[in-house]
Amino acid sequence: MCCFFTSLLLLGPRAAILVWWLINPIRWQLAFTNFIWGFLGFIFLPWTTLMYVLVFPGGIVGFDWVWLGLGVLTDIGTHVGGGYTNRHRIPGVSSTPEPVAKTPPPAAPAAPVAPAAPAAPEEPTPEEPTTEE
C-alpha cells in the first residue's frame, strides 16, 4: 500500500487526487461543499488541494496551517520552477547572463607573410681616403 501511494505522488498530485477521490468520495464532499472548488484546486493548486483534504476532517487549527502553507509553497515552486527551467524557450530571453564589462573583440589575425628572398651578401664599401694635414 505504501508503494501505491508513493507511485501516485511520483506520477503527480493530480493522479493522487483522482485516485483518492475515486476511493474516498465522502471525504472530498466534506472538504468541498461545491464541486467547483475541488475542480479549481485540481487544475491550479493540486498540492494545496491534497493538503486541504488531508487536514480538513478535524478542522483546520494549529499545525494544520503549516501543512497548508507547505502545499502552497510546493505549488508555487512547481509553477516557478517550470518557468525558470524553460526560460530559453521564450523569445528574447537569454539563458546566459550578459557580462557586466564588455571586452573588445579579438584583433583579426594578420595575413600570412611569404618568406623573404635570401638577402644578397653585402659588398664591402670602399673606405674614403683620409687626408692628414
Q: Tell me how many domains the chain contains.
A: 1
Can you say whether residue 28 is alpha, beta or left, with left for phi > 0 and alpha for psi between -120 and 50 degrees? alpha
**pLDDT tens string 35-76:** 899 999 999 999 999 999 999 888 888 899 999 999 999 999
| Residue 36, in any domain of the structure | yes
| Residue 31, in any domain of the structure | yes
| Residue 50, in any domain of the structure | yes
| Residue 75, in any domain of the structure | yes
**Overall average pLDDT of the 23-35 stretch:** 91
Residue 129 cell numbers, joined:
681616403
Residue 71 cell numbers, joined:
502545499
> By residue range, what is the domain housing residue 47?
2-86
| Residue 32, in any domain of the structure | yes
Confidence of residue 24 (pLDDT cuts 50, 70, 90): very high
What does the chain come to in residues? 133
| Residue 79, in any domain of the structure | yes
Between CA 15 and CA 9 the distance in angstroms is: 8
| Residue 43, in any domain of the structure | yes
**pLDDT tens string 77-101:** 888 877 677 777 777 766 565 555 6
Between CA 99 and CA 58 the distance in angstroms is: 55
User: Residue 64, exposed/middle/buried by CB under 10 A (0-12, 13-18, 19+)?
Assistant: middle
Task: Please state the pTM of the whole predicted model.
Answer: 0.59
CB neighbour list of residue 14: distance below 8 Å, 6 or more residues apart: 42, 46
State yes or no: pLDDT of 119 exceeds 60: yes
Q: Coil, strand or helix: which one is 6?
A: helix
| Residue 81, in any domain of the structure | yes
- Supply the pLDDT for residue 72: 94
